[in-house]
Amino acid sequence: MNIIPGVISSVLEDDLFAKIDIEHDNINFSACILNSECDATFSKPGTPVNMAFKETDTIISLLNDKKISCRNRFPSKVTSIVYGVVMTRIAAAYKGFTIVSLVTSSSARQLNLRPDISVICMVKSTSMILSIRKRG
């Protein structure tokens, strides 16, 4: 488990999610949690916290390079976007399949997404779940 200390700088909430912004050494981080898990502990700016994240959820990239360590990448086209206060639901089409992603609304706005724009969907190989399907 990776752990980085930080201090809560702001909290944005809606009915489903809470986006908690954390600052460490002048770098801004964010964590999105279910709002039911956001109690008074995580709702006060100035609160010191530890940010913990799994090794399998860490993506590596070279500085100033668009190459990243995420293996599963597939070109898709955005079909719909539903903005929420905290999270945005993005649906994309990949060869007849609908791929859905939840990202923070601030990230979705930075990407300037809109229907029919081409994107690359990515899934870390450690996040992929397999099941047996019938042939045919």
* Stated pTM of the model: 0.78
Q: Specify whether 38 is located in the same domain as 83.
A: no
Are residue 91 and residue 49 in the same domain, yes or no? Answer: no
- pLDDT reported for residue 16: 85
The answer to the question of residue 136 being in a domain is no
Query: Which residue segment(s) compose the domain that 76 sits in?
Result: 72-127
**Within a domain: 60:** no
Q: How far apart are CA 86 and CA 90, in angstroms?
A: 13
- Do 76 and 119 fall into the same domain? yes
Q: What is the pLDDT of residue 84?
A: 93
* Domain annotation covers residue 132: no
| Side chain identity at residue 20, one-letter code | I
Q: Is residue 21 predicted with pLDDT exceeding 60?
A: yes
For residue range 48-78, list pLDDT tens digits in order.
999 998 888 888 777 777 788 888 899 999 9
The enclosing domain of 43 has a CATH number of 2.40.50.100
Ranges assigned E (strand) in the chain: 2-13, 17-24, 27-34, 48-53, 72-83, 87-94, 97-104, 118-123
Asked whether residue 11 falls in the same domain as residue 48, the answer is yes
- Minimum mean pLDDT among 22-31, 34-43, 56-65, 123-132: which range? 34-43
**Number of domains the chain is built from:** 2
87 in the same domain as 49: no
Q: Tell me the pLDDT tens digit for each residue of 91-129.
A: 999 999 999 999 999 999 999 999 999 999 999 888 888
> Which of 22, 12, 11, 32 lies closest to 89 in space, CA to CA?
32
